């Protein structure tokens, strides 16, 4: 992958300089993934909670002039709203961009998609009978196999069978950390962020994330925007921080820098 970086973390000064340049731009979009970025990863997805102070910092950033703030996730919009308690002016992007809080109406399934979804769900339920430790999450336009917390050999077998189920079907397959999402409709975090940036007329996007779909967003955003990877792993992001606690520190620093530009 072109531009892949293996460095553990970005030197603090380099990231601070990048944030300083970002903070003084006239119009910006600050976008942050949820799981593994604002909230530590947990075995039970609905027990995930943002680190103390993280959501309050996003609220305060969203109150600044010409500053838009979005929480971006593969989670369904309803679950993301429940877990964050976020309300305007914070924006939510769920289901990898398929659902958003700022569009009047979520996309509905047509008959053809509904048939594909039902057939996929039936096959995945059969898979779960063979692998009862795995879990299935249902979203409006996708189904997700979860294997976090189960023995590695069982998890690998479950995910391999899930991938096999997708062959020959009109599905978007998205792997992640102990998950496999099979979608009957797909947008992508990067596409959703670029569309939102264009709609709001921003000068630059800051995006922070930790997983495979975030890497896809980093690549879509490219060098014209500011991207930060959380945690280890190959990345095309321009910067890297060690873990979720550093994300809170980053947001606090950005709030201070952006607030200083006000008269």
CA-only gyration radius of the chain, Å: 19
Omega cis (within 30) before 89: yes
CATH number at residue 240: 3.40.50.1000
Q: Which of 183, 202, 232 is the last residue of a domain?
A: 183
Do the domain assignments include residue 18? no
Domain extent for 226: 28-38+48-58+66-105+188-259
Q: Are residues 170 and 197 in the same domain?
A: no
Q: Is 109 exposed, middle or buried (0-12, 13-18, 19+ CB in 10 A)?
A: middle
CA atoms of 137 and 145, how far apart (whole Å): 7
DSSP 8-state class, residue 170? S
**Residue bearing tokens 């109150």:** 63
CA atoms of 140 and 117, how far apart (whole Å): 9
Return contacts of 45-54, CB within 8 angstroms, 24+ apart: 45/75, 45/79, 45/137, 45/146, 46/79, 46/82, 46/83, 48/83, 49/83, 50/83, 50/84, 51/244, 51/245, 51/247, 51/248, 53/248, 53/252, 54/244, 54/247, 54/248, 54/251
Do the domain assignments include residue 1? no
* pLDDT score at 8: 56
Do the domain assignments include residue 34? yes
**Residue bearing tokens 């779960």:** 128
Q: Are residues 97 and 131 in the same domain?
A: no
* pLDDT score at 3: 59
Q: Are residues 130 and 197 in the same domain?
A: no
Give a three-class secondary structure readout of 190-230: HHHHHHHHHHHCCCEEEEEECCHHHHHHHHHHHHHCEEEEE
Q: Which parts of the chain have pLDDT scores under 50?
A: 1-2, 7
* pLDDT score at 109: 87
pLDDT in tens, 47-69: 999 999 999 999 999 999 999 99
Q: Which of 124, 150, 183 is the last residue of a domain?
A: 183
Do the domain assignments include residue 194? yes
Q: Which of 165, 183, 201 is the last residue of a domain?
A: 183
Q: Are residues 194 and 255 in the same domain?
A: yes
Number of compact structural domains in the chain: 2
Give a three-class secondary structure readout of 2-24: CCCECCCCCCHHHHHHHHHHHHC
**Residue bearing tokens 């609220």:** 59
Q: Are residues 217 and 247 in the same domain?
A: yes
pLDDT in tens, 222-235: 999 999 999 999 99
* pLDDT score at 1: 43
Q: Are residues 91 and 199 in the same domain?
A: yes
CATH number at residue 172: 3.30.70.1020
Q: Are residues 146 and 203 in the same domain?
A: no
* pLDDT score at 107: 76
């Amino acid at each position: 992958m072109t531009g892949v970086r293996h460095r553990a973390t970005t030197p603090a000064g380099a990231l601070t300089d990048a944030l300083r340049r970002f903070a003084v731009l006239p119009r910006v979009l600050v976008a942050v993934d949820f799981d593994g970025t604002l909230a530590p990863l947990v075995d039970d997805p609905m027990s995930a909670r943002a680190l103390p102070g993280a959501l309050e910092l996003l609220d305060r950033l969203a109150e600044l002039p010409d500053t838009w703030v979005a929480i971006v996730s593969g989670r369904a919009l309803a679950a993301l709203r429940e877990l964050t308690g976020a309300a305007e002016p914070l924006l939510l992007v769920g289901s990898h961009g398929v659902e958003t809080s700022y569009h009047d109406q979520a996309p509905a399934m047509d008959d053809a998609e509904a048939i594909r979804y039902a057939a996929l769900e039936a096959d995945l339920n059969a898979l779960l009978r063979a692998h009862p430790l795995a879990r299935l999450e249902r979203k409006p336009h996708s189904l997700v196999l979860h294997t976090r917390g189960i023995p590695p050999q069982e998890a690998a077998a479950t995910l391999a069978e899930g991938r096999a189920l997708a062959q020959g079907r009109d599905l978007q397959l998205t792997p992640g950390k102990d998950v496999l999402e099979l979608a009957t409709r797909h947008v992508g975090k990067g596409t959703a962020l670029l569309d939102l940036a264009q709609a709001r007329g921003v000068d630059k996007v800051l995006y922070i994330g930790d997983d495979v779909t975030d890497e896809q967003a980093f690549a879509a955003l490219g060098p014209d925007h500011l991207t930060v990877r959380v945690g280890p792993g190959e990345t095309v992001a321009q910067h890297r921080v060690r873990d979720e606690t550093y994300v809170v520190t980053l947001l606090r620093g950005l709030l201070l820098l952006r607030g200083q530009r006000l008269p």
